[in-house]
Structure 1
Amino acid sequence: MTDNLKQKILFIMLIQFLIYFGFSMIIPVMPELVVVFGVSTLHLGFILAIYSIASFISAPFFGTLSDRIGRKPLLVGGLFVFMLSFLVFAIFSNSLVILYISRFFAGMASGALYVATTSMVADITSIESRTKYMGLIGMAMGIGFVFGPGIGGLLATVSISAPFFMTSIIILVALIFSIIKIEETYNRHTEIVRGIGVQKEYFIKPVGILLVATFVVMFMMSGMESTFQLLGKEKIDITPGEMGVLFFIGGIFNAIVQGGVIRKLKDGQEYGAMMIGQLMALIAFIMLPFMTGLFYAGICIVLLMSGNALVKTLMTSQITKEAKHNEMGKMTSTTYALDSLGRIIGPVFFNLLFLIHYGVPFFFGALVVLLSTFFIYQYYRKRGQVV
């Protein structure tokens, strides 16, 4: 790694850490908001879904824009809107309507941020080294998740709006840092392919199978995230503070996988690592309905977050390897749009299953793990890397 490349990667890692630290601070607070507002737990699913609806709508536009004007304007603009979304709800934390509106704008901003940061990493790395650097970026996100939920749970004991105020301050720091330190990474030297939206032509190529797998994996994980806390309340009467501790532990393992395991993988070793990640997720989903205590829940979180770290990061890395330089924004935005579609459907669907019985969504999740494993296998089979 050259000094210039090292500096750019470190800057992007810091931005990702600040974004995910700030964002994850509100995770332990969301179920409590449902209690405070005195509404159905279905709203938890809808609140998560509205964020992803906005991401799904905005990501394709930002992908095309990124390939026209560059990555830094999207990064700066996305951070500014992201900051405002948390600040507005912190000020009007007694309004369920304002919560929905703020989450919608936060979702739009996240589309710009994902396209900008993922495209930046792809811009400055080679195909052979991309998995390594994607792992480092993932490690920064994981470290953010290590500290965010724990601090968010503690701040929630002060007031329900405190984590939102703190998040807006953290994102403001990231915004100022981006303006001063982050350089533009995109050098347009070829004609841009026109058109806005999810790129249909990708789906007639082998990468289309991996894109579908991206949707299935996110559908599964977002559904689990939206019901895990409800399961904890049902089975072991878990508190926001305890939930924060679980995410803290899971985040540590996530960071270890991203910065240790993935960083050491060589180009061509992704398939085996993905299969291990899928197996970890399968075991966790089967275990979850039988939760007996915090230690048991912690094992499930570690398996899920570590397994997802392997699968999601490696899929993202592999997908960017399929894109031309002047289409990187479109490819990353298509990936994020499918991520968002999974996050739209997953929470609502899994919460509906939870109403039937607390164990149903997790047994269903195990079946979805098998489906996504089949798609990953089919991609690598068409690539001639497995038989």
Structure 2
Amino acid sequence: MTNTQITGGKRQAALGFIFVTAIMDVLSLGVMIPVLPNLVKAFGGGDTAAAADWNVLFATTWGVMQFFCSPILGLMSDRFGRRPVILTSIFGLGVDFLFMAFAPNLWWLFVGRIFNGMTAASFATAGAYVADVTTPENRAKGFGLMGAAFGIGFTFGPALGGWLWNVDHRAPFLVCAALALCNWLYGFFVLPESLPPERRQPRFDWKKANPLGSLQLLRRHPGLLGLAGVGFLFQLAHNVLPSVFVLYMGFRYNWGPDTVGLTLMASGISSIIIQGLVVGPAVRKLGERGALLVGLFSGFAGFTIYALAPTGLVYLCGLPIFAFSGLIQPGLQGLMTRRVAPNEQGQLQGANAALMGIASMIGPSLFLLPFAFAVRHDATLHMPGLPVLIAASLMLMATLLAWAKAKPAPTLEPQAA
């Protein structure tokens, strides 16, 4: 089977299927953004600093599970196909949401986050799916479409989550479970397989499936390790959003879950505009490297505004600037997927997810502990945006690394099984 452009025939349909699957997946996760930190805070008696400490434990545990499980699922998708891995992940996500919906205390929520981290690989496997059904020249556009799905999910998800929270604190989890189940049914009956048997790995190798073995892939291909470093710094900086922002906006601007949800909705709309209207022209004009650099610098500028904004209105002025960070993933994924063979795309996405797991392990402590310190000493420090400034510094480091390492590369042909 040969690649065709994403504008052609069955592969256009396949990309549409995975786009809908990604939207429903991210929508369920988006609902959780304004909900889970506030539920943790409610269980903890309303203490913001204590909620930040608990969220460190929750997010770090989720990252540990991602680190160990994502390489396994990535290699499984190379060996057995993308479809069964995606379906298994989505079904597990639905069970996790049901578990958390009826959690009577923080420790039950903690167990739910463990299982969530173990199964939350559907979006990473979807990245390998996109690489399967697009040509290298159109791959950034395909990943831009996935970014648009991400934006749509995080546009309507947080607003829905904030509204459901006001109805009932358990309702968001039940709705997310229903979304995951609908997503699973959609995938089961509609989603086709993208990786034919002749292009799969001949066997499942546990040496490649462990995190260190998976990360060795990044060293085997020239230039891939530097790009992975860019992705790691970006993911680490991006961890400030789920780790801190709900608590940060509530503390600094006195915004409740509904206002936070609407703010995240505005951010998502900005992202959709960038992904839908800007990614394609930007990649054509600037190339994947140029789009990546513009996206990284925009993320640095946006985070800086978020950290220093004294009022909610000034904070909102940073939204359209930060939206251009939507160029990062299409440019970065386009550059990285060119450097590996078709039967290594799942392993690549598993390695990327493992790095995201490491970032998720480090990120909560890196951002929440300074935030808790800043809150406790706000009367003298006056810097609740300290963790966001740390994220801005990481984005600047990623920009400089990308300037040095993000070079074009020839596309590899399929390797013999």
Superposed pair shares fold, TM > 0.5:
yes
The question of 1:75 aligning with 2:93 is answered: no
Pick closer, same or farther for the CA change 1:49–1:317 going to 2, 3 Å. farther
Task: Please state how far the C-alpha of 1:186 moved relative to its aligned partner.
Answer: 0.6
**Do structure 1's residue 200 and structure 2's residue 216 form an aligned pair?**
yes
Alignment match, 2:39: 33
Q: Which residue does the alignment assign to 2:230?
A: 213
- C-alpha distance 159-310 of structure 1, shift in aligned 2 (>3 A): same
TM-score w.r.t. structure 2 length?
A: 0.86
Aligned letter for 1:276? V
Query: What is the RMSD computed on CA atoms of the aligned residues?
Result: 2.0
| 1:38-76 deviation digits (Å, cap 9, x = unpaired) | 161211232222222211110111111111111111011
Would the aligned equivalents of 1:288 and 1:362 in 2 still touch at CA under 8 Å? yes
**What SS is found at the alignment partner of 2:35?**
helix
- 2:157 paired residue among 123, 148, 157: 148
Name the CA distance, whole Å, in 1 between partners of 2:267 and 2:218: 34
Q: Deviations over 1:332-384 (max 9, x none)?
A: 11011111211221122111122333232222222211211122112235869
Aligned to 2:394: 368
Distance 1:192 1:328, change over 3 A: farther
* 8 Å CA contact 1:56, 1:338 repeated in 2: yes
TM-score by length of 1: 0.93
Name which of 241, 246, 267 aligns with 2:263: 246
Q: Return the offset for 1:223.
A: 2.2
Structure 1 residues 308-327: aligned runs within 5 Å: 308-327=325-344
Query: Pairwise mapping of residues 32-51 of structure 1 onto structure 2 (< 5 A)?
Result: 32-38=38-44, 40=50, 41-51=52-62
Q: Which amino acid aligns with 1:175?
A: W
The 5-angstrom pairing of residues 95-106 of structure 1 reads 95-106=105-116
Pairwise CA distance, 1:261: 1.1
Q: Residue 143 of structure 1: CA displacement? A: 0.8
Q: 1:312 to 1:359 in 2, by over 3 A?
A: same
Distance 1:328 1:207 in 2: 13
The structure-2 alpha-carbon separation of the partners of 1:108 and 1:268, relative to structure 1 and needing over 3 Å to count, comes to farther
* Greater Cα shift, 60-69 or 174-183: 60-69
Tell me the equivalent position of 1:297: 315
Out of 2, 24, 38, the residue aligned to residue 8 of structure 2 is 2
Match for 2:136: what amino acid? I
The one-letter amino acid paired with 1:99 is: L
How far is the alpha carbon of 1:131 from its aligned partner? 0.7
2:232 maps to a residue whose letter is F
The residue type equivalent to 1:200 in the other structure is Q
Letter in 1 for 2:143: M
Q: Structure 2 unaligned runs (5+)?
A: 1-6, 375-383, 411-417
Match of 1:114, as an amino acid? F
Structure 1 window deviating more from structure 2 (361-370 vs 338-347): it is 361-370
1:261 to 278, 289, 296: 278
- More displaced, 28-37 or 374-383? 374-383
Q: CA deviation at 1:259?
A: 1.5
Q: Secondary structure at the match of 1:76?
A: helix
Of 242-251 and 136-145, deviating more is 136-145
- Report the Cα offset of residue 267 of structure 1: 8.8
In 2, distance between residues paired with 1:120 and 1:282? 30
Q: State the alpha-carbon separation in 2 of the partners of residues 338 and 267 from structure 1.
A: 30
In structure 1, what residue type is equivalent to 2:108? I
**Whole-Å Cα distance in 1 between the matches of residues 258 and 318 of structure 2?**
18
Asked whether the equivalents of residues 335 and 408 of structure 2 are also in contact (C-alpha less than 8 Å), the reply is no
Aligned to 1:276: 294
Distance 1:251 1:47 in 2: 25
Q: Tell me how far 1:201 sits from its aligned partner.
A: 4.2
Deviation of the 1:254 alpha carbon: 0.8
Provide the secondary structure at the position in 2 that maps to 1:129: helix
- Does residue 21 of structure 1 match 2:27? yes
Q: Distance in 1 between matches of 2:126 and 2:286?
A: 24
The answer to whether residue 352 in structure 2 is matched with residue 335 in structure 1 is yes
Cα pair distance change 1:267/1:62, threshold 3 Å: farther
Q: Determine if contact 1:67/1:328 at 8 Å carries over to the other structure.
A: yes
1:295-333 alpha-carbon deviations (Å, 9 max, x no partner): 3222334433x2332112321232122110111111111
> How far, CA to CA, are the matches of 2:172 and 2:141 in structure 1?
33
Residue aligned with 1:269, SS: helix
Deviations 1:101-158 (A, max 9, x none): 11121122112x1342111111111101111111112112211111110011000001
Distance 2:329 2:57 in 1: 24
- For the 8 Å contact 2:335–2:406, the answer to whether it is kept is no
How much does 1:216 deviate?
0.8
Corresponding residue for 1:91? 102
**Aligned-partner residue type, residue 355 of structure 1:** A
Q: What is the CA distance between 1:225 and its match in structure 2?
A: 3.5
CA contact (8 A) 2:40 2:106 kept: no
- Range with greater deviation from structure 2 (344-353 or 81-90): 344-353
In 2, the alpha carbon distance for the partners of 1:299 and 1:50 equals 34
> Contact 1:131–1:267 at 8 Å: present in 2 too?
no
Whether contact under 8 Å (1:55, 1:340) holds in the other structure is yes
